Amino acid sequence: MESAEIARRFLRFFEERGHTVVPSASLVAEDPTLLLVNAGMVPFKPYFLAQQTPPYRRATSAQKVMRTLDIDEVGKTTRHASFFQMLGNFSFGDYFKEQAIPFAWELLTRPESDGGFGFPEERLWATVYLDDDEAQDIWHRKVGLPLDRIQRRDLADNYWHMGVPGPGGPCSEIYYDRGPEYGREGGPIADENRYLEVWNLVFMQFQLSAVRSKIDFDVAGELPAKNIDTGMGLERMAAILQGVDNIYEIDTTYKILDTAADLTRSRYGRDKRADVSLRVIADHMRAGVMLVGDGVLPSNEGRGYVLRRMLRRAIRNLRLLGAGEERHMHPLTAVTIDVMGEQYPELKADAANIHTVIDAEEASFLGTLRTGTAIFDVAVEETKRKGASTLGGDQAFQLHDTYGFPIDLTLEMAAEQGLQVDEEGFRRLMKEQRDRAKADAAAKKTGNADISVFTGILEKSGKVDFLGYDHTTAEANVIGLLVDGASVPAAGAGTTLEVVLDRTPFYAEGGGQLSDQGLIRTGGAEIEIVDVQSPVSGLVVHRGKVRTGEVRVGDQAQADIDLERRRAISRSHTATHLVHRGFRNALGESAAQAGSENSPGRFRFDFTAAGAVSPSMLRDVEDEVNAVLINDLKVNAFYTSQAQARAMGALALFGEKYGDEVRVVEVGDYSRELCGGTHVASSGQLGLVKVLGESSIGAGVRRVEALVGIDAFRFLARESVLVAQLSEQLKTRREELPERIEGIVTRLRTAEKELDKLRSAQVLAVAGELAAQARDMQGVSVVTHRAPDGTTADDLRKLALDVRGRFPGDRAAVVVVSGVPSDRPVVVAAVNEAGRERGLKAGRLVGVAAKALGGGGGGKDDVAQGGGTRPEAIGDALRAVEEAISSAVA
């Protein structure tokens, strides 16, 4: 039975029993405390915590899940996986144990021909919590499971909670006996390799007041409404129903693994090391494709780091299998989309975008491997020169953060050099970086307030009505005030606060559009609003400062947005839609939006692309968009179903999450997108769009910045004045300026090259004189020299090598020269073979000089280069080198 069919049967079974089928939520968790969705119940967490009222009493889902705590173990065993799917049925105060247990038994044992999974009853076992007599009684008396196949287990195995105060309770797990060939008899408590867990039924019946660990918590009492949360791992079920030994051999994984084996001319099951690599590739390709499909882009922090790490581990393991510089991610991505596409058809619709992102990351990482390896070699040489055996955590972090070098690769290469890595220091720096990023993101949305404060307001007062599409001013009631994250009844003049109204014309930042600003007035206060956020769905929070008077919860208010700011932002937002369509027309449908920011008079637009966009194409897109403005097309917004919107050709932004009902914004017949932002009434109101340029902001992602409206006109006016000034100064007509300036620049470059040649010749002219004036230190010829300021580092190196080459081969010689190419001093040391035999090494001598210069450096034993920050210390540096040479040859 294929994985897609397993999911279909599960959902259909519970739908027939009154459960609402809830589509899988994005892997990008809405919960600000989570990086990624890590359990099937996460989308329902607000209902279990009573933060929100569920729209249904019963639900069922097949949820995408990502867990990365054991990522280093992926591939080493056949049990660990980063991406998997959790099938579940949920009850919110509706049914409890007496129905949940029979539901599970019926689905598992019902014949396949009748829509079940066809498990033989005699192969199923159950576990219950130590004192859960009720669950045991249901299993035995209602279901008919013999008592000798029901085992009791303790808190560590059969009790569940969220790790925080809230609901919790015992659970009952269902196991499948794979047979004596997999282990010893005795049930799950004897051998969990033979007895494989297939389903966990959690009975949330208690309110936990304190949670200190998984097995240490306080129970405050029973919940007023008892809940059910179950989880069945789809991959594990597929392994059983497809008759294979583990999750890497099921349909949606093995096809990827087999493709990787074909591409690298390896074979699964023949070599343990190759098997590990193939499993890593298969798992990480599934995880990577699903993350990119949900809009995550590779980066060095947060979710982007998780994605980057997985893709690069896959690429690294392809190289370990002998792939070399060959690029294999494209066919691996294709087969992954194919095998997962039946369950998630949006993957096939977004295939071009997913390919663009992953192909670009592969190209970037192959370059990183070359660059990072060179930087790594320098770090290793410096570590060994110091006599240390451990590569610093800061060096490993720099390799990761600056050059994208994965830590596992650093560890492996360091081990090959006989070195360890300060992993603790690296992890500390990584944690600090992640904590900063997470705190910044959370603070932006919640203003450092406990999210439960917002959900409490939402529960009490209901969803805030947004009136901003049709109104720029509105009467409302103050339903909440927060100061420093805590609810307050009132706030006086000078207080920075957050205001919640029951209805508002203020647009909360979202979809790339910056928030509105403006004023909220009550009978006794005036509040200046500078930011608006939606920390939880359905709630709009206005942030600002009380200018005058005192505002109180319950006050009637008048909310007025800054109309000119709104109009300018709306022009930018509509322009972004047009530019998006323009790039798709120019580059194809793979040019998908990957982010945007719409601010007053200016916008930036990020999109997926394999490479840079040519200036001529930028001009063509700009011309096409401005033609749309001239035609003054009507801008229309309406609501429809998501299916109907897609049928109409409306663009759904890559990675965005939408409900069943969506808002469509169309500009004539030119552009049609799903969008919740504000827009102009017709394209002519934009006036003019001026593209400033494009650049790369990451692997496979380009950024265009542009001006719109009066800002674009002002920019062109300034450009016109500048061109007029240049034309006057160069006595050239405007149209001839490019040719004239190019000629001037060419002549300047030629002159600079000639000057460089003369300067280099002048520097090298003293080589013979320096060699003749060499000092003798116990049989070693030593030259130390300060070159004139402005001498380039390259010329310093040439001079040192030239002087060194003037000594006979059997005469030990050391040459150290220093200068100031710009504002920082540089030192170069060169030692011939005879000098190296006397124990003199260029790298060590440069280190001595660089230390005196307030910097560092190193290199090979024959020639090395370093620098510092103190030009005035060059004399001291050269004297320090002479002393070091004297000590070395004494």
- Which segments within 642-743 are labelled E, that is strand? 661-667, 671-674, 689-698, 701-708
What integer pLDDT is reported at residue 473 of this predicted model? 96
863: phi > 0 → left, psi -120 to 50 → alpha, else beta; which?
beta
168: tokens are 């919790």
Nearest C-alpha neighbor of 14 from the set 56, 49, 70:
56
On average, the pLDDT of the chain sits at: 88
Rounded Cα–Cα distance for residues 772 and 848 (Å): 25
Confidence of residue 547 (pLDDT cuts 50, 70, 90): very high
Rounded Cα–Cα distance for residues 657 and 647 (Å): 18
Match 């001079």 to its residue by tokens: 799
Cα distances from 657 to residues 282, 406, 650, in angstroms, run: 27, 30, 14
Nearest C-alpha neighbor of 447 from the set 492, 496, 480, 491:
496
What integer pLDDT is reported at residue 436 of this predicted model? 66
CB 817 within 8 A of CB 764: no
The average pLDDT across 817-824 equals 88
Which residue type, as a one-letter code, is found at position 37? V
Rounded Cα–Cα distance for residues 628 and 115 (Å): 55
Position 755 pLDDT exceeds 50: yes
CB 609 within 8 A of CB 702: yes
Rounded Cα–Cα distance for residues 345 and 807 (Å): 74
Rounded Cα–Cα distance for residues 588 and 705 (Å): 20
Q: What count of other Cβ atoms lies within 10 Å of the Cβ of residue 317?
A: 22
Task: Provide the 8-state DSSP code for 634.
Answer: B
Strand pairing class (390-391; 420-421): parallel
CA torsion, ordered 343, 344, 345, 348, to nearest 10 deg: -120
Rounded Cα–Cα distance for residues 27 and 700 (Å): 21
Looking at the structure, give the CATH architecture of the domain made up of residues 766-889: Roll (3.10)
What integer pLDDT is reported at residue 21 of this predicted model? 94
pLDDT digits (tens, 9 = 90+) for 151-185: 999 998 999 887 778 889 999 999 999 999 999 99
The gap from C-alpha 2 to its chain's centroid, in whole angstroms, comes to 31
CB 867 within 8 A of CB 890: no
Rounded Cα–Cα distance for residues 286 and 304 (Å): 16
The average pLDDT across 779-799 equals 89
Half-sphere exposure at residue 306, Cβ-oriented, CA atoms within 13 angstroms: 23
Burial label for 680, CB within 10 Å (0-12, 13-18, 19+), is buried
pLDDT digits (tens, 9 = 90+) for 269-310: 888 889 999 999 999 999 999 999 988 888 877 888 889 889
Q: What count of other Cβ atoms lies within 10 Å of the Cβ of residue 343?
A: 20
Position 443 pLDDT exceeds 60: no
What integer pLDDT is reported at residue 658 of this predicted model? 66
pLDDT digits (tens, 9 = 90+) for 208-220: 888 888 888 988 8
Task: Provide the 8-state DSSP code for 554.
Answer: T
Match 């936990």 to its residue by tokens: 208
Range 3-242 classified under CATH 1.10.10.10: no
The average pLDDT across 451-474 equals 87
Three-state SS string over 504-546 comes to ECCCCCECCECCCCEEEEECCEEEEEEEEECCCCCCCEEEEEE
Three-state SS string over 75-130 comes to CCECCCCCEEEEEEEEEECCCCHHHHHHHHHHHHHCCHHHCCCCCCHHHEEEEEEC
The average pLDDT across 535-557 equals 92
Is 0.75 topped by the overall pTM? no
Beta bridge partners of 519: 528, 560
Classified as helix, coil or strand, 866 is strand
What integer pLDDT is reported at residue 653 of this predicted model? 67
Position 446 pLDDT exceeds 60: no
Nearest C-alpha neighbor of 685 from the set 573, 609, 794:
573
Beta bridge partners of 474: 559
What integer pLDDT is reported at residue 80 of this predicted model? 78
Nearest C-alpha neighbor of 55 from the set 660, 850, 702:
660
Which residue type, as a one-letter code, is found at position 493? A
pLDDT digits (tens, 9 = 90+) for 111-133: 999 999 999 999 999 999 999 99
- Angle made by CA atoms 31, 35, 37, in degrees to the nearest 5: 70
Position 442 pLDDT exceeds 60: no
Q: What are phi and psi of 622, to 5 degrees?
A: -60, -45
**Percentage of residues in the chain with pLDDT exceeding 70?**
96
What integer pLDDT is reported at residue 404 of this predicted model? 66
The gap from C-alpha 443 to its chain's centroid, in whole angstroms, comes to 18
The average pLDDT across 802-812 equals 90
Task: Provide the 8-state DSSP code for 138.
Answer: I
**Percentage of residues in the chain with pLDDT exceeding 90?**
53
What integer pLDDT is reported at residue 58 of this predicted model? 95
Helix, strand, coil percent content, the chain, rounded in steps of 5: 45, 25, 30
Position 747 pLDDT exceeds 60: yes
Rounded Cα–Cα distance for residues 345 and 250 (Å): 20
Nearest C-alpha neighbor of 33 from the set 51, 50, 45, 48:
45
Binding site, annotated residues for Zn(2+): 573, 577, 675, 679
Position 448 pLDDT exceeds 80: no
Position 799 pLDDT exceeds 60: yes
Binding site, annotated residues: 573, 577, 675, 679
Nearest C-alpha neighbor of 794 from the set 767, 758, 828, 771:
828
Rounded Cα–Cα distance for residues 4 and 280 (Å): 23
The average pLDDT across 45-70 equals 86
- Angle made by CA atoms 269, 274, 278, in degrees to the nearest 5: 85
Q: Which of 22-31, 67-76, 203-212, 265-274 has the lowest mean pLDDT?
A: 67-76
pLDDT digits (tens, 9 = 90+) for 379-405: 888 888 888 888 888 888 888 776 667
What integer pLDDT is reported at residue 403 of this predicted model? 67
Position 445 pLDDT exceeds 50: no
Classified as helix, coil or strand, 335 is helix
Q: What are phi and psi of 818, to 5 degrees?
A: -140, 155
What integer pLDDT is reported at residue 316 of this predicted model? 84
- Residues with Cβ within 8 Å of residue 786, at least 6 apart in sequence: 817, 818, 819, 874, 875, 878
Nearest C-alpha neighbor of 813 from the set 843, 850, 783:
783
CB 529 within 8 A of CB 542: yes
Nearest C-alpha neighbor of 565 from the set 506, 630, 606:
506
Q: What is the CA radius of gyration of the chain?
A: 34
Fold of 567-716: Threonyl-tRNA Synthetase; Chain A, domain 2 (3.30.980)
Fold of 451-561: Elongation Factor Tu (Ef-tu); domain 3 (2.40.30)
What integer pLDDT is reported at residue 263 of this predicted model? 93
- Residues with Cβ within 8 Å of residue 367, at least 6 apart in sequence: none
Rounded Cα–Cα distance for residues 284 and 66 (Å): 11
Rounded Cα–Cα distance for residues 288 and 360 (Å): 13
Domain coordinates in residue numbering, the chain = 3-242, 248-377, 388-443, 451-561, 567-716, 766-889
CB 434 within 8 A of CB 302: yes
Classified as helix, coil or strand, 62 is strand
CB 797 within 8 A of CB 862: no
- Residues with Cβ within 8 Å of residue 142, at least 6 apart in sequence: 98, 101, 102
Rounded Cα–Cα distance for residues 311 and 300 (Å): 13
pLDDT digits (tens, 9 = 90+) for 549-593: 999 999 999 999 999 999 999 999 999 999 999 998 988 877 888
Which string of b and e fits 703-738 if b means at least 16 CB within 10 Å? bbebbbbebbeebeeeeeeeeeeebeeeeeeeeeee
